[in-house]
Amino acid sequence: MRQRTGFSGPVIAFQEKRLPETAIPGGCSTLPRAGPAEIYPAGCLPVSAAILEQFDEYRITLESYSARLLPLIKWEPTEEFNVRVLNDTGDFYRFFDATPQAEFLYACVQKTIEHDLPAETDFLRRYDQFRQQVVSFLEMPERLVDLLFRFLNQNGGRLSQRAREREFKELTDEETKRIEAIYNNTFTSG
b/e 94-130 (16+ beta carbons within 10 angstroms → b): eeeeeeeeeebbeebeebbbeebbeebeebeebbeeb
Residues in Cβ contact with 118 at an 8 Å cutoff, skipping those fewer than 6 apart? 32
Sign of CA dihedral 35, 39, 42, 45: positive
pTM of the predicted protein model: 0.65
Residue among 65, 70, 56 at smallest CA distance from 102 = 65
Amino acid present at 4:
R
DSSP 58: H
Residue 130 CA to residue 185 CA, distance in Å, equals: 9
State how far Cα 137 lies from the chain centre. Answer: 31
Q: Which DSSP string corresponds to 78-124?
A: -TTS-EEE-S--HHHHHT---HHHHHHHHHHHHHIIIIIHHHHHHHH
Residue 23 CA to residue 32 CA, distance in Å, equals: 12
Amino acid present at 89:
T
Residue 17 CA to residue 139 CA, distance in Å, equals: 42
**For each of the chain's 190 residues, which pLDDT tens digit applies?**
333 344 444 545 444 433 333 333 333 333 444 444 444 455 788 899 999 999 999 999 999 999 999 999 999 999 999 999 999 999 998 999 999 999 999 999 999 999 999 999 999 999 999 999 999 999 999 999 999 999 999 999 999 999 999 999 999 999 999 999 999 999 986 5
Helix, strand, or coil (residue 38): coil
